Structure 1
Amino acid sequence: MSALPNRRGPRPLPLHLMLGAARGMAALTMPLPGMPLPGMFPPLPGMPPFGPAWPSWNSGWPRSKAGQAEAMRIAQALAGLDPASRSPEAFRAAVLRRLWRQDAQLLRGLAAYRRHPHRRALIDPPVIWAEGSARLLDFGGSGRPVLFVPSLVNRHYVLDLDEGASLMRHLAGRGLRPLLLDWGWPGPVERRFTLTDHVAGRLERALLAAPAGLVLAGYCMGGLLALAAALRRPDRVAALALLATPWDFSGDAQARGLARLLPGLEPLMEPAGALGVDLLQSLFAMLDPYGIPEKFRAFARLDPASARARRFVALEDWLNDGIPLAAPVARETLGGWYGENTPARGEWTVAGLPVLPGEWRGPAFVGVPARDRIVPPGSALALAAALPGATVHIAPSGHIGMVAGQGAEAALWRPLGDWLLGL
């Protein structure tokens, strides 16, 4: 039997390799007592010069545990060398030898991921509605229907990731009837869509095709779309569940930084009418540039046959299987949500009407990951505060880990299922 082809990811691979090497640049530009500062590295296009304060994407970088650990390792590597007894050239060479050993581990982790034998084998459940690129998947069951709305920039199957790693199948096993909206790959029609087209068009018609009295659940930006749809069609929606859903971007420096990139992204969106997958992946990578190389170094130390390695591969495959974001939606989200904070200011509109969570009158569940790098907990908690009588659940996990990580069942699946069954 022929060998499985190597994966394309992690995407974009050159960026990940560059970020892995960036730690060496940072280390070599950090001065120690008694050690003269090495020469400045020339700046890369669009990047600040590498110097003692580099990297500085914003004041919050690195913000993750992996990023903080990476900065600590650089400091420890430097502290373990005695600059007073070496020439600057010898000191630099010693730092590079130590970092090269760790870079070799990064390459081993990348290679181990790309050749890992696991491939997702779950079969999609029946489709009960379809329009354009969108489908509504029915996971079965005779209990209360729960329609899940994922983000527009990632594949739907993060909620149905793998055997033993599927929120949808877990809830079906508890007697509920999960439905999952797959937005699909945007074709020429969808690339002209605005958020109004998605909410008042596709999502609303999916609601009409589903059983009435359902719970509408949204994950990440899908939560904002679900909220807007529920406010438009309270006759179809009995309750709301919003998971890792952003709302108030006023305190998020990274969101404002991404908004400032929008003018420069316009020429890149023009040819295809969308932000491409690799460009989106690059933007997400910059949220935690140290963390991404570190997770592959950690993967190199795992037993490839372990359950933990399999889950890592399944999640990485999903992350690298992204979806382009239609240019009109990119402008609304980056410029409006991120740049102008339109949701929290009551200025985000769908079909001309503002989306105001205070107008929701049904039960609501808000799941907030405590270690979320993509949606700061304060942003999601602001939405919970604006929803009258919302049940707030703080999950001890990250943005993706809450729905598909090793600890997802305890962090979210069971608490969410309990709430749904108690309605």
Structure 2
Amino acid sequence: MPGGPEGEPDGETDPAAGASAVPDPAFIDPAFIDPAFIAGVAAYRRHPYRRVDPAPPPVLWRQGEMRVLDYAPGGGRPVLFVPSLVNRAYILDLMPGGDGNGGAGLSILRDLAGRGVRPLLLDWGWPGEAERGLDCAGYVTRRLEPALEAVAARCGGPVSLAGYCMGGLLALAAAGRRPELVRALVLLATPWDFAASGTGGGGAEIATLLTRILAPYTGMMALTGTVPVDALQAAFAAIDPAGIVRKFREFGAGTRDAAQAALFVAMEDWLGDGVPLAAPVAVACIRDWYGANLPMRGQWQVGGRAVRPEALAMPVLVAVPERDRIVPPASARVLAGLIPGASALSVAGGHVGMVAGPRARALLWERLGAWLLRHG
């Protein structure tokens, strides 16, 4: 399942548990103690940064827990942003109130609003009872398409559609099914060829790994209809466990300046602020995408129709982060070759850094804004 690689730090020890909850040091193998990693986690927990939104965007439309947030109610070229189902949508509005040290905010949506774009964010929300029966195709036909219809009606005509990660696959499917509602399409770090090798191997290896990780949660999935957040965090951590240790060791070393440290904390807070995933979505991702590679084989169906990028007849931008450890660049780049006339944008950044990193403004935001104003 596309998403962030980092796992959530372990919770605090419950003080009420008493001394019996503390392991006898004699039984702790020193080989498993990493003082630098522990110091980094402690430094992260002590950091004072907290996300504050001084000007929350109004809700343009809602359906159950799902909302469309309007970041430029005054107008502009409307673009509906579709994030992944796995993580919170606010990665696209990560630090709206600045870094707490007088530094500027960090939000791709607010930046684009200042460039004449009207960013509209589809916030999937917490999966309710109705969503728990939806697979990936169901999220397109019963959630994304109604939102797209409502947004087009409110904006007076077709709008641009921008999908990020898993949201890119859903947006691509919706654009193919409802081209009369979509003026232009942007695909940001969107996987398509799931056989392409990345940090966790190829699709088959990742499918096996995810199946093994989620196996202990099958009872919970059957009971609740969702994959719990803890299971998702374990799956993300399994993609690059050494990377998690490395980043906290580096953070604990105190080499970052105030702005970089606040961004690290903001990113980790977002990664830890997960939502459950509808169980049918998880099954479809593992079986149909990673396991069978149905999108690349032209056999992924939504609403009884195969999703075919080659049939799209609208301006399309495919942005590929070249340092992506979640979606292998080869997996995303193939879309630029399949879609007639698509523009390919190579971004010298990572999966998350592309949209919310310290260099994201120069790497992506400026170029994306210019493309949207030209084609949107």
If the TM-score is normalised by the length of the shorter chain, which range does it land in?
0.7 to 0.9
Aligned residue in 2 for 1:157: 90
CA distance in structure 2 between the aligned counterparts of 1:309 and 1:12, rounded to whole angstroms: 17
> What is the identity percentage for the equivalent residue pairs of Structure 1 and Structure 2?
53
Aligned residue in 1 for 2:15: none
Contact 2:7 2:244 in 1 (8 A): no
CA distance in structure 2 between the aligned counterparts of 1:208 and 1:180, rounded to whole angstroms: 14
Out of 262-271 and 162-171, give the one that drifted further.
Answer: 262-271
Q: How does 1:103-118 map to 2 (within 5 A)?
A: 103-118=34-49
Unpaired stretches in structure 1, ≥5 consecutive residues: 1-8, 15-91
Aligned residue in 2 for 1:256: 204
CA distance in structure 2 between the aligned counterparts of 1:324 and 1:121, rounded to whole angstroms: 24
Aligned residue in 1 for 2:353: 401
What SS does structure 1 have at the residue aligned with 2:249? Answer: helix
The Cα of 1:392 is off from its aligned counterpart by 0.6
Tell me which of 96, 104, 128 is aligned to 2:60. Answer: 128
Query: Is 1:218 the equivalent of 2:159?
Result: no
CA distance in structure 1 between the aligned counterparts of 2:181 and 2:7, rounded to whole angstroms: 40
Tell me which of 117, 142, 150 is aligned to 1:209. Answer: 150
What SS does structure 2 have at the residue aligned with 1:136? Answer: strand
Query: Is 1:273 the equivalent of 2:225?
Result: yes
CA distance in structure 1 between the aligned counterparts of 2:307 and 2:347, rounded to whole angstroms: 26
CA deviations on 1:135-188 (whole Å, 9 max, x unpaired) are 000001422101100000000000000032100000000011000000001112
The Cα of 1:301 is off from its aligned counterpart by 2.1
Counterpart of 1:288, as a letter, is: D
Distance change >3 Å, CA 307–CA 157, structure 1 → 2: same
Distance change >3 Å, CA 268–CA 383, structure 1 → 2: farther
Counterpart of 1:205, as a letter, is: P
> Larger Rg: 1 or 2?
1
Out of 185-194 and 250-259, give the one that drifted further.
Answer: 250-259
CA distance in structure 2 between the aligned counterparts of 1:334 and 1:400, rounded to whole angstroms: 22
CA distance in structure 2 between the aligned counterparts of 1:362 and 1:390, rounded to whole angstroms: 9
What SS does structure 1 have at the residue aligned with 2:268? Answer: helix
Aligned residue in 2 for 1:242: 187
Counterpart of 2:37, as a letter, is: L
Contact 2:81 2:161 in 1 (8 A): yes
Tell me which of 112, 115, 118 is aligned to 1:171. Answer: 112
CA distance in structure 1 between the aligned counterparts of 2:136 and 2:253, rounded to whole angstroms: 43
What SS does structure 1 have at the residue aligned with 2:207? Answer: helix
Aligned residue in 2 for 1:196: 137
Unpaired stretches in structure 2, ≥5 consecutive residues: 1-5, 12-28, 99-104
Aligned residue in 1 for 2:369: 417
Tell me which of 388, 394, 414 is aligned to 2:340. Answer: 388
What SS does structure 2 have at the residue aligned with 1:290? Answer: helix
CA distance in structure 2 between the aligned counterparts of 1:361 and 1:10, rounded to whole angstroms: 40
CA distance in structure 2 between the aligned counterparts of 1:10 and 1:207, rounded to whole angstroms: 32
Counterpart of 1:158, as a letter, is: I
Contact 2:41 2:248 in 1 (8 A): yes
Counterpart of 1:197, as a letter, is: G
Counterpart of 2:67, as a letter, is: R
The Cα of 1:269 is off from its aligned counterpart by 1.8
Contact 1:370 1:395 in 2 (8 A): yes
Contact 1:248 1:343 in 2 (8 A): yes
Out of 192-201 and 374-383, give the one that drifted further.
Answer: 192-201
Tell me which of 286, 289, 292 is aligned to 1:340. Answer: 292
Counterpart of 2:92, as a letter, is: L
The Cα of 1:213 is off from its aligned counterpart by 2.0
CA distance in structure 2 between the aligned counterparts of 1:225 and 1:148, rounded to whole angstroms: 11
Tell me which of 119, 136, 155 is aligned to 2:50. Answer: 119
Counterpart of 1:349, as a letter, is: Q
Higher relative contact order, chain-length normalized (CA < 8 Å, sep 6+): 2
Aligned residue in 2 for 1:39: none
Query: Is 1:377 the equivalent of 2:329?
Result: yes
Aligned residue in 1 for 2:242: 290
Query: Is 1:147 the equivalent of 2:80?
Result: yes
Counterpart of 2:194, as a letter, is: F
CA distance in structure 2 between the aligned counterparts of 1:105 and 1:413, rounded to whole angstroms: 35
May I ask how many residue pairs the two structures share in their alignment?
332
The Cα of 1:111 is off from its aligned counterpart by 0.6
Contact 2:7 2:236 in 1 (8 A): no
What SS does structure 2 have at the residue aligned with 1:397? Answer: coil
Distance change >3 Å, CA 109–CA 244, structure 1 → 2: same
Superposition RMSD on alpha carbons, in Å? 1.9
